[in-house]
Amino acid sequence: MTLFAANLFPGQSSSGIRPLSESRVEFVDYGKGLCIILVVMMHSVLGVGDAMGGRGWMHYPVDFSRPFRMPDFFLIAGLFLARTIDAPWRRYLDRKVLHFAYFFVLWTAIHLTVKITTLPDPSLTGLLNAFAWRMIEPITPLWFIYILPICFVATRLLRNLPWQIVVLLGIGMESFPIGSYGTVLEEFMRRFVYFYAGYYFAPLIFQFARNVALRPGASSAGLALWALVNGLAVFVFSADGKPLAQLPGVSVLLGFAGALALVAVAALLAQNSAMSFIRQVGSRSIIVFLAFVLFMAPTRILLIKANILPDIGSAGFTVMAVALAGPLLLAWMVAETPFKYLFVRPQWARLKDTD
């Protein structure tokens, strides 16, 4: 099955930065797999906890991963950008903007149609109004592919500035108390520094991953120390009633530390095929990202109404497993049908005269 979805972060040139082809860097797929698993885990477990009115054992890994879950996703998203950042604007916009816009528009329509009975106005007019609003304020799981094209364009526009200025600007935005000015502005300000770091420091990150693979013992010890520090910041120390991990300045430090830690974990996993399912999930991460909610919500409702798993943690884990596997099964089922365009961008949605 050959799907666009295997390339959520399409390979990328420029500035003399030439990491290996993405298809040959296994740790990248492992990293994407870890990220999408953590994202689905968060939505599944928190949804189950809210519905069942409590917390379970799965809430602890969700809390633990909060400082680095999305920073690592954006860091990985920028890793191969150097390969295409100097491409002609038409080609660049096709691959980095229209590429994601197609899936965002399509899957926003799908999500809203599925949930039409829950809309304030469950009519065609209400659906169209909701769709128009979601073009400005994206649905929660889809904001990531809304923000990515903005990061691609911003990085290209800023690429000739000294990296120190861009990084300081990004750290300032990440730490700035933006308030309630909408998901797009807030998430861009909080995530851009990680995306840019993935782009600019890609050679160092690739070398870091190689060094980790060469020194598994020392790397594992370093990961244990990082896990201790991250856990203390999340669960133990607090200030003003908030976990230390959420404080300005601390959050960006833990974000970068955790993102590199996940890179290290991915590099170690890539040395052994025992966890290859993570790589398979990572290579098809956009499939999971776009469709997991369609499997997550019904599974949660079924488990709770039938009281199949009264334990909150076990219910959360089960919902997560179904939400991860369901989209992959769906993609396999539609791969040779016209419905493959749920996950493959059709020719008509591409700018002409692009390679």
Give which of 161, 155, 158 is closest to 192, Cα–Cα.
Answer: 155
Return the closest-CA partner of residue 55 out of 299, 315, 245, 234: 315
- HEC string of 279-336 equals HHHHHCHHHHHHHHHHHHHHHHHHHHHHCCCCCHHHHHHHHHHHHHHHHHHHHHHHCC
Q: How far apart are CA 61 and CA 341, in angstroms?
A: 34
301 close to 47: Cβ distance less than 8 angstroms? no
- CA separation for the pair 156, 192 (Å, rounded): 12
Q: What is the pLDDT of residues 196-231, one digit of tens each?
A: 999 999 999 999 999 999 999 999 999 999 999 999
Q: What is the pLDDT of residues 115-143, one digit of tens each?
A: 888 888 888 998 999 999 999 999 988 99
Q: What is the pLDDT of residue 298?
A: 93
Q: What is the pTM of this model?
A: 0.88
Cα–Cα distances (Å) from 347 to 15, 110, 182, 351, 355, in that order, read 31, 20, 33, 8, 12
Q: Tokens 């807030």 belong to which residue?
A: 186
pLDDT at 120: 86
Q: State the Cα–Cα distance between residues 194 and 170, nearest whole angstrom.
A: 8
Instruction: Give the integer Cα–Cα distance in Å for 4 and 9.
Output: 10
Token pair listed for 318:
């089960």
Which residues sit opposite 239 in a β-bridge?
A: 242
**Low-confidence residues in the chain, pLDDT < 70:** 1-24, 178-180, 239-240, 353-355
Locate the DSSP E strands across 153-260: 238-239, 242-243
Please name the residues in contact with 244: beta carbons below 8 A apart, sequence gap of 6 or more.
Answer: 232, 233, 234, 237, 238, 250
Locus of tokens 């996703």:
73
The 8-class DSSP code of residue 261 comes to: H
pLDDT, tens only, 280-317: 999 999 999 999 999 999 999 999 988 888 899 999 99
Quick check: 202 and 163 in contact, CB under 8 A? Answer: no
